[in-house]
């Protein structure tokens, strides 16, 4: 589902350099990416989604080389095929909750909104505890509620890949586990590949793999055979 080969990336006019010899994520896997702030975890999500482009190497998603697409093709591909949960939510302030959830259908002509889509959006909102707030705008919501809207928006197109940057960061412990379980259930139902960047070590038990990105990005060997990746959280100790 996701394959990265011989990747090199650098932000302009900075000393930060990301090198990633190889990363393969199979279809349907649930992967957690951990590591200290500044090691490139969010950059990894941006490269997979095509928001950022590598200086060298290839990024393949769903059988297509995202890093070789034009800007417009990359944008349409991302909206249709990849669900993004941004750390800063990126909600549209003048739209209400329901319109924010359905936003991908408004900005991508290859997607068609239907009554079924709207029903699914309302079902997602209800599952996230947002049913009574569909007419509110982001400024009228708490941080945790805004985060839940962003999660609904990422899932609404039923994408093959879901990329989430700290999706439980603003949630209280009760909602954290409930909403993470919901994301897992939907990912399993739709055979979605899930990559979650997190600092929360308390949620790692639900993932198939845990990647220590700080170690992996400097490795010169296949990441499956290195100590940077564990197949199950119980192996981390």
pLDDT per position as a tens digit, 113-142: 888 999 999 999 999 999 899 999 999 999
Supply the pLDDT for residue 92: 96
| CA–CA gap between residue 184 and residue 11 (Å, rounded) | 33
Q: Assign residue 111 the CATH number of its domain.
A: 3.40.50.300
Strand pairing class (193-197; 209-212): unpaired
Alpha helices in 7-114 (DSSP H): 41-49, 71-81, 97-101, 103-107
Share of the chain above pLDDT 70, in %: 91
- Per-residue pLDDT for 229 more than 80? no
- Residue holding tokens 């408004």? 106
Q: Considering only the C-alpha atoms of the chain, give the largest distance between any 2 of them, rounded to a whole number of Å.
A: 51
- Per-residue pLDDT band for 232 (boundaries 50, 70, 90) equals very low
Q: Which pTM value belongs to this model?
A: 0.85
pLDDT in tens, 48-64: 999 999 999 999 998 89
Mean pLDDT score of the chain: 86
pLDDT band at 88, cuts 50/70/90? Answer: confident
- Domain count for the chain: 1
Q: Is 120 helix (H, G, I), strand (E, B) or coil?
A: helix
Instruction: Provide the pLDDT for residue 180.
Output: 87
Q: Do β-strands 56-61 and 64-65 pair in parallel, antiparallel, or remain unpaired?
A: antiparallel
At 144-189, the pLDDT tens digits run: 899 999 999 999 999 999 999 988 887 888 888 888 888 888 888 8
Quickly state the pLDDT bin for 66 (edges 50, 70, 90).
Answer: very high
End-to-end CA distance of the chain: 28
What range does the domain containing 216 cover?
2-235
């Amino acid at each position: 589902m996701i394959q990265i080969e011989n990747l090199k990336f650098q932000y302009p006019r900075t000393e930060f350099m990301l090198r990633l010899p190889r990363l393969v994520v199979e279809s349907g896997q649930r992967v957690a990416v951990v590591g200290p702030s500044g090691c490139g975890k969010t950059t990894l999500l941006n490269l997979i989604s095509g928001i950022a482009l590598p200086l060298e190497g290839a990024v393949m998603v769903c059988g297509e080389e995202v890093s070789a697409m034009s800007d417009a093709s990359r944008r349409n591909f991302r909206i249709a095929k990849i669900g993004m949960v941004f750390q800063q939510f990126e909600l549209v302030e003048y739209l209400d909750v329901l319109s924010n959830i359905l936003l991908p259908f408004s900005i991508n002509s290859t997607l068609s909104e239907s009554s079924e889509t709207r029903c699914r959006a309302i079902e997602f909102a209800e599952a996230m505890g947002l049913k009574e707030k569909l007419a509110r705008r982001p400024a009228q919501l708490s941080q945790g509620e805004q985060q839940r809207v962003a999660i609904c928006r990422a899932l609404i197109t039923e994408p093959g890949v879901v990329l989430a940057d700290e999706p439980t960061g603003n949630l209280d412990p009760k909602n954290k586990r409930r909403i993470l379980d919901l994301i897992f259930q939907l990912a399993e139902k739709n055979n979605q590949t899930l990559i979650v960047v997190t600092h929360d070590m308390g949620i790692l038990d639900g993932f198939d793999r845990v990647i220590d990105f700080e170690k992996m990005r400097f490795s010169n060997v296949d990441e499956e055979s290195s100590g940077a990746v564990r197949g199950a959280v119980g192996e981390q100790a």
